Structure 1
Amino acid sequence: MVGLIGGGIVGLSIASGIASLGLAAYLSRHRGRPGATWFMASLSSQGIWALAYGVGLVLTDPQLRAAAEALSWIGMNCTGPLFLAFALEYTGRSTVTEERWIPVLFVSPIATALLGLTTPFHTLLWRDFQFAPLFDLGTVLYSIQPLGYATVITSLTMAGIGVLLLVETMVAYGSVYRRETIAVVLSSIPVSVVLILWLGQIGPYPQLNLTPALLFTHVAFDAYAFSSTSMFETNPVTQRTAERSAVDDLDDPLLVVDEDSRVVKLNDRAQSLFETSRERLPQSFSSLVGTELASLRSSGELSLGSRTYGVSYTPLETADDSTVGGIVVLYDITTERKQRQQLSVLNRVLRHNLRNEMTVVRGHADSVESNWADQQLGKQMHSIIDASDRLLSISDQMREFERIIDDELNEQPIDCRELLEAVRTDVREAYPAASVTVQTDSAPDHVFTDPTVLSLAMRTLTENAIRHSVDSVPTAELACTVTPAEEAVTFEVRDSNGRIPEMELEALDADEEHPLQHGRSIGLWIVNWAVTAVGGELTFGYDGGNVATITLPADIRENNPDSADALSEG
């Protein structure tokens, strides 16, 4: 009959096993979180260890007792490697657990399992196995062999390394994970001490291993870590992954959020901006910033007082491509926003006020020219009229370009020949004295692009060629061809004018206007912007005249029924 003390030891051992397996089952809801699966496996191994030892204490059959002892050894020696794997992944070192040499960590537990299952046939783990009853329990004594010591010490060492990794995490990340780490570390200390004492046969009862009974306190600490501190709901892997992104020294405000949109890390600029401190973390993103993360990502902007910030969100992914949160960076765009407003005002002035006033100037100049007898003053009036026309043309071009670009691109299959003929007609109406020809012998049947934007670019190039011609009859030739490999479609505008000044082309390449690089017309800029909008490329050459070439991807889709239908409908 088992006494009170013996019953307590058996009860605690079995309770430790059941509690370990129960906590592993409870944590299954966190499966997929960094470290969760490994920790569940470690708890399961621990549960097998405690249950096997507790049941073994009430067995009297020598073979069954030896089998229970072997099973407890398997659980004991698998717990350490599994705990180390948990610590590596939980603290953001998952790349270690994914290397090819990770099976080395499990050589010892696998060897223990094989040796434990075959103990009746060898004495590699222990020898002289015999009953040594204590407190009316089926306790046993045996001499642990060198290989047995090696397996237990290996498991203990791995568990110790895992504990050190958690301690390092507590030191590195401060209060965010302090309670979780302390709970797990404290739970490991008494268990490890008692196991070492038993392993060294130190104490009055060498046949009794109290480690399985003490595992109950270990499980209690672990349960506190998960139920009270939400250990797997926020974990260090988010911060460590952020550190690998080399953004800690960024001058802009930066916040690191976990999968549940809680801020777990921020830099000094963010602390100052939101008037908070790292001691208050983790904290929900909405309570700190004042808006939901999803809304901020959607709008792309955040207004704080008189400042406006652009928002950049970068997902944080581990080595196995699991998303563990993200990095939010706020870029101060207040100055850019003001400049945009200023440009908008200037644009309205150009499109409306300047045009209206210039129309008045041109009207009066035209009236004066037609009624002025002085030939010299008449020529001057004519120059005023020409200058007014050029300014009005610029205003018209900018207004049309803005109208087109403000709309979404409407890409569709278009007939190349019809597009060039339409451009020719429009230009001839504006410049009836000009000679505009169309060459489409090698043109494809159709090309897939936005017809309005492409027409604007072609018409602007053609009008530029005519306006800058010094010939009595300005000429321009429009052409469309497919490259030999049918990788692109090219649209060309040729003229017989002098070479376009290099300063104008250099300004286009630089994407900005520089002093002494002011073009004769904004037309080339409009063409450049339009071609970029449709994903094309604009180039210039000279072959007895300027050759402006627009190159578009050859998305001709001749065999696409939908494209054919669209063409027939058009």
Structure 2
Amino acid sequence: MFRLVVFGLVAAVFVFATLAAGVGTVGLVWYLDRHRGSAGANWFIATLTAQVLVTLSYAVAMLVSQPTARAYLEALTWTGLAWMGPLFMGFALEYTGRERFVHTYGFGLILLVPTVMTGLALTHPYHGLLWQGFELLSPFGLSGALYTIQPCGYLAVAVTFAAAAVGVLLLVETTLAYGALYRREAAAIALSTVFPAIGIVTWVLRIGPYPELNLMPALLLPHSLLDTYAFVGTHMFETNPTTQRAAERSALDDLEDPLFAVDTEQQVVNLNDRAETLFGVTDDGQLPTPVETLVGTPLDVMREAGEITVGGTESRIFAVSYTELTDTHDTVVGGLVVLYDVTEERQQKQQLTVLNRVLRHNMRNEMTVIKGHANLLRDEIDDERLELPAEAIIDSSESLLSIAEKAQDFDRIKRRDLRVVEVDAADLLADLREELFDGFPEATIDLDVRAGTQIRADPGLLTVALSNLVENGLDHGDEPYASVSVSQTQDGRAECVVTDRNERINEAELAPIRAGDETQLEHGSSIGLWIVTWSVTAMGADIDFGYDDGNVVTITLPDRI
């Protein structure tokens, strides 16, 4: 009686473990369906489906004693077993960022083995290629099967075993490569394969007192529990090594600037040493973490603003650059965020803004006062020796006022958005000439433009540029003369040319403009040429300084006539 009770208890535990493994796997498939489409998710769901086939078919088989039905249930177990390894390998390849190997002929040959095996298993009554000598036995009151596995069967077992081993090695490599981020998940999955592997080895090699029983389906229960921990208890499919590999291809540690990689869920999965120092990350176990938790600002807000401020009293300002990361099939798997320290540039910009405001307001007001008092002194004094200094003060005041007014005009225009419209070139030049005649009533200003010529430009910026060029020509000539022409280039763009009859513009004036910088040793004396250059640059146009019996300055607009 005791023996019967023991046998009954063993049989119940064996069947229950097998059924529990199958039902638990079904539940895991249902849970992971939400991750369908994530890297490796579809392959793993397929692997679990094969596992369900193994466990449930064998659980039923142990309760069926009719030979034909029992043999077909055994065939289903074989089918699921043959598919488990290759499908698991496919999961490991795609999950670890090696999905290109899934589409190779070599992997196709691996999948061919379970495909052929499925056909052999379901047609087993018509041949003996899978097993021979099928015999039913009753260990512990269960329905067991004892038979001789044929070479095709051994090949199927060897391929599924080897494919699963490769998958485990890939996951272990991921653990070693990426530290703590995927360690728990990869370790759980790797360990989970040990239990069914023991079952397969003991069954194929007929180890133990009951070779007619296949322990592998029951041992899939701890396998399922570890898989559940990996995929439910952690973040296996919330982030994956595909993002890491894409980040590696982007030279994660080659930049001197802080840099971090994010996945499609806006979680930081890796960062270089500069970013670790900046954000105080001391342990890989802190990852993955949401961008907002690490930086203090959501990724979308960072990208929209284009910059962030990091730190407290000694905060730094960083410009934000975001680049999408893609896998070998151009599927977006995350992004790479690079932070460029622009603190000094922002401070310089702020200082220049303050100085500019001082120049535009204070200098103009003070120089107006100085000029007024100089005029009073000149009118009141009778000593010619004192009249000359008064005249010099007045001339210098007028020069500085002119500079301030030009800078103010340009700043006013620059502050608004670029406004490119259709402009009648003849009307624009006529208005320009009339305005300049107020300051140079004796000047000659020739215009050469066909009536009705339409050009695309920002009227304000173009007027400022041409006005300063013409004024420069009139101001420095013995007989004030300048000409302005508008024509069409060979590629259809508008070309505005200003000429005078003066000496060549000093190279000291042009060198810093061509270099785009003023230095203490090399600087120009005319702000007018700088304003011309700034205006042209703001329009996206080109400028060229030449000489042909007079200065020839050519502005080529970006848009066609």
Tell me the TM-score normalised to structure 1 length.
0.88
For structure 2, list consecutive stretches of 5 or more residues without a partner in the other structure: none
**Contact map agreement 1:191 1:218 (CA 8 A) in 2:** yes
**Contact map agreement 2:110 2:159 (CA 8 A) in 1:** no
Offset at residue 372 of structure 1 (A): 5.9
Residues 205-236 of structure 1 deviation map (CA, whole Å, 9 limit, x = unaligned): 22221111211221111112222213212333
CA distance in 1, matches of 2:105, 2:317: 45
**Contact map agreement 1:531 1:538 (CA 8 A) in 2:** yes
Offset at residue 367 of structure 1 (A): 4.4
**Pairing partner for 1:304 from 294, 311, 315:** 311
Q: Is residue 491 of structure 2 the alignment partner of residue 482 of structure 1? A: no
Residues 389-441 of structure 1 deviation map (CA, whole Å, 9 limit, x = unaligned): 33222211211221221222223333233222222222223322222222222
Offset at residue 29 of structure 1 (A): 0.8
Distance 1:100 1:340, change over 3 A: farther
CA distance in 1, matches of 2:407, 2:420: 22
Q: Percent identity?
A: 45
Residues 32-66 of structure 1 deviation map (CA, whole Å, 9 limit, x = unaligned): 32222221121112212222333333444544444
Residues 304-354 of structure 1 deviation map (CA, whole Å, 9 limit, x = unaligned): 122222142423333333333333343333322322222222212321222
For structure 1, list consecutive stretches of 5 or more residues without a partner in the other structure: 557-570
Aligned length: 552
Instruction: Give the aligned partner of residue 345 of structure 2.
Output: 336
Instruction: Give the aligned partner of residue 514 of structure 1.
Output: 519
* Residue identity opposite 2:208 in structure 1: G
CA distance in 1, matches of 2:541, 2:102: 47
After superposition, residues 368-517 of structure 1 pair within 5 angstroms as 368-369=377-378, 378=387, 381-441=390-450, 444-447=453-456, 449-468=457-476, 470-472=477-479, 474-486=480-492, 488-517=493-522
Distance 1:534 1:137, change over 3 A: same
**Contact map agreement 1:20 1:47 (CA 8 A) in 2:** yes
Q: Is residue 362 of structure 2 the alignment partner of residue 353 of structure 1? A: yes
CA distance in 1, matches of 2:421, 2:157: 72
Distance 1:546 1:266, change over 3 A: same
Offset at residue 24 of structure 1 (A): 1.4
Distance 1:145 1:423, change over 3 A: farther
Offset at residue 27 of structure 1 (A): 0.6
Offset at residue 157 of structure 1 (A): 1.3
Distance 1:489 1:186, change over 3 A: same
* Residue identity opposite 1:112 in structure 2: M
Distance 1:362 1:81, change over 3 A: same
Distance 1:393 1:107, change over 3 A: farther
**Pairing partner for 2:95 from 86, 90, 95:** 90
Tell me the TM-score normalised to structure 2 length.
0.89
SS at match of 1:513: coil
Q: Is residue 157 of structure 2 the alignment partner of residue 157 of structure 1? A: no
Instruction: Give the aligned partner of residue 78 of structure 1.
Output: 83
Q: Is residue 295 of structure 2 the alignment partner of residue 292 of structure 1? A: no
Instruction: Give the aligned partner of residue 289 of structure 2.
Output: 283
Offset at residue 189 of structure 1 (A): 0.8
CA distance in 2, matches of 1:438, 1:119: 99
SS at match of 1:430: coil
CA distance in 1, matches of 2:62, 2:204: 18
SS at match of 1:361: helix
CA distance in 1, matches of 2:129, 2:429: 90
Offset at residue 302 of structure 1 (A): 0.9
**Contact map agreement 1:257 1:326 (CA 8 A) in 2:** yes
SS at match of 1:265: strand
* Residue identity opposite 1:154 in structure 2: V
Greater Cα shift, 425-434 or 92-101: 92-101
State the superposition RMSD in angstroms.
2.9
Distance 1:292 1:56, change over 3 A: same
Offset at residue 195 of structure 1 (A): 0.9
Offset at residue 521 of structure 1 (A): 1.0
Residues 361-382 of structure 1 deviation map (CA, whole Å, 9 limit, x = unaligned): 3334444555666667655554
Greater Cα shift, 157-166 or 124-133: 124-133
Offset at residue 384 of structure 1 (A): 4.0
Distance 1:512 1:4, change over 3 A: same
**Contact map agreement 2:130 2:153 (CA 8 A) in 1:** yes
Offset at residue 191 of structure 1 (A): 1.0
**Contact map agreement 2:455 2:494 (CA 8 A) in 1:** no
Q: Is residue 43 of structure 2 the alignment partner of residue 34 of structure 1? A: no
Distance 1:490 1:60, change over 3 A: farther
SS at match of 1:554: strand
CA distance in 2, matches of 1:313, 1:327: 8
